[in-house]
Every structure is written in C-alpha cells, then in structure tokens.
C-alpha cells in the first residue's frame, strides 16, 4: 500500500465515521445548547487521547463489539425518547405549542447532562473507530504517520462542513430540529447496537442511508397518525 493510497483509504474511512460523529454533535448542540455539548465532546476526546497514548497498538484488543452494543442501545433509547417528544410537540395545535415548556436535566453548574453524555459517547465511540482505522491501516503498511494525517484531514474537512452548517441549522424550527436529531440518534443507535451484535449490514456503513430513510418515513407516518387523531378529537369536541 503506497503512501497516497493509504492516505486516501484512511481519509475516506475516517470521513464516514466523522460524519456520524458530526451529525450527532451538531444536532444536539444546536437543539439543546453548545456549552454542555462541547464539554461532553472534550471529555470524550481527553479519554480517547489517553487510551490511544497509553495502549497504542494494543488498542485493537478493546472489545469494540461490546462497546457498540452498549453505546448503540443507549443512543437508541435516547433517540426514541427525543423523537417521541418531538412528534407529540409538532402534532399539537400551534396555540398549545407555545405554552409548553421543556424541562432539561441541569446540574447546579448549569450542565445539561443529556447533551453532555450523548456528545461524550459519540466522540468516544467514533473516535475509537477512527483510531482502529489508523492503527490497522498504518501498521499494515508500516506508515502510521500517513494514516494519522489522512484521519486528521478527514476530521478537519468534516468539522469545517459542520461549522459552516451550524448557522443554517439554528434557523430550523426547534421542534423540527429535535425531530431530525431524534431520527439520527435512533438510526445510529440501531446501526451500532446491531453491528455490535455481529449483524452484517448490506453495504456496510452505507446502509445507514437506507436506515435513515426508513426511520424518517416511519416518523412521518406516526406524525400523520398523531395529527389525524388530534383533528378527530377536535372535530368531536
């Protein structure tokens, strides 16, 4: 494996993982606030850096499959909860929407632990995936440095796109943004949990596109049912 091919292979593989990480961080940060999301991301990055520095090549011995099941299951639960709240809020009449106030789990220091934990898990799991890619590709070609550069270039590219889109996302109605993040968390949670349980997704990571499409279609179907149910109740009254 020559240097250019190794760089491109690492760049593309790390980009896929980076997009998954960025989708969670940008969505959660925009919907619930950036302070706790950034703190969670930094905590995940610090732990990831410590693990990578201390373990090195032995990083490959970490049971990533079990970690995927745990993190995927937790994200699936959180995503379904968020999606449920978003669907119920969107389905309400506009006059009732304004009166509802969402209560966030905050610490005395003002940390939103929901955002913190989701960001922490996203950075840790996806970061470990990228570290495995770097170690595996780099060790095989005996060019760890090139693999690291390819992964860092991918993260910079994905981070740049995420930074540029954050302003556009902030203009999306909050309930619809939560709807989108709920779908993303649910899809990624399903993907990771099943992958950790040794499920072979057709097309690998690209099956996430189909999974997201299916989750989105189901969410809109539930929204239509909720709206029709609400309209029927209003007509009866």
> Taking each helix axis from N to C terminus, what angle separates 174-196 and 64-91, rounded to the nearest 10 degrees?
150
**What are the residue ranges spanned by the domains of the chain?**
3-236
In the prediction, which pLDDT does 95 show?
46
Rounded CA-CA distance 84/90 in Å is 10
By the 8 A CB rule, do 42 and 136 touch? no
Say if residue 98's pLDDT is above 50.
no
Alpha carbon of residue 120 to chain centroid: 10
Mean pLDDT lowest among 96-100, 113-117, 148-152, 174-178: 96-100
pTM to 2 decimals?
A: 0.63
Q: Which of 23-32, 42-51, 54-63, 156-165 has the lowest mean pLDDT?
A: 54-63
d(CA 3, CA 144): 10
Overall average pLDDT of the 89-116 stretch: 62
Q: Report pLDDT for 97.
A: 47
Token output for 57: 């090549």
> Using 50, 70 and 90 to split pLDDT, how confident is the model at 100?
very low
Tell me what the pLDDT averaged over the chain comes to. Answer: 78
* Residue 140 confidence (pLDDT): 62
Higher pLDDT, 81 or 232: 81
Mean pLDDT of 183-208: 84
Higher pLDDT, 231 or 67: 67
């Amino acid at each position: 494996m020559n240097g250019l091919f190794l760089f491109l292979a690492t760049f593309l593989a790390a980009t896929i993982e980076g997009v998954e990480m960025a989708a969670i961080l940008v969505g959660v940060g925009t919907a619930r606030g950036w302070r706790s999301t950034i703190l969670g991301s930094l905590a995940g990055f610090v732990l990831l850096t410590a693990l990578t520095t201390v373990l090195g090549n032995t990083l490959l011995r970490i049971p990533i499959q079990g970690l995927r099941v745990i993190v995927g299951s937790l994200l699936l639960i959180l995503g379904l909860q968020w999606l449920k709240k978003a669907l119920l809020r969107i389905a309400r009449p506009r006059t009732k929407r304004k009166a509802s106030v969402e209560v966030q789990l905050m610490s005395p220091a003002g940390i939103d632990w929901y955002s913190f934990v989701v960001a922490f898990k996203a950075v840790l799991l996806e970061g470990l995936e990228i570290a495995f890619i770097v170690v595996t590709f780099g060790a095989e070609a005996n060019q760890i440095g090139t693999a690291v550069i390819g992964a860092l270039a991918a993260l910079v590219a994905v981070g740049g796109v995420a930074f540029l889109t954050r302003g556009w996302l902030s203009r999306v109605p909050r309930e619809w943004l939560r709807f989108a993040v709920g779908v993303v968390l649910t899809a990624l949670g399903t993907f990771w949990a099943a992958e950790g349980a040794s499920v072979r997704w057709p097309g690998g990571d690209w099956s996430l596109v189909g999974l997201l499409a299916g989750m989105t279609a189901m969410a809109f179907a539930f929204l239509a049912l909720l709206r029709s149910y609400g309209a029927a109740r209003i007509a009866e009254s």
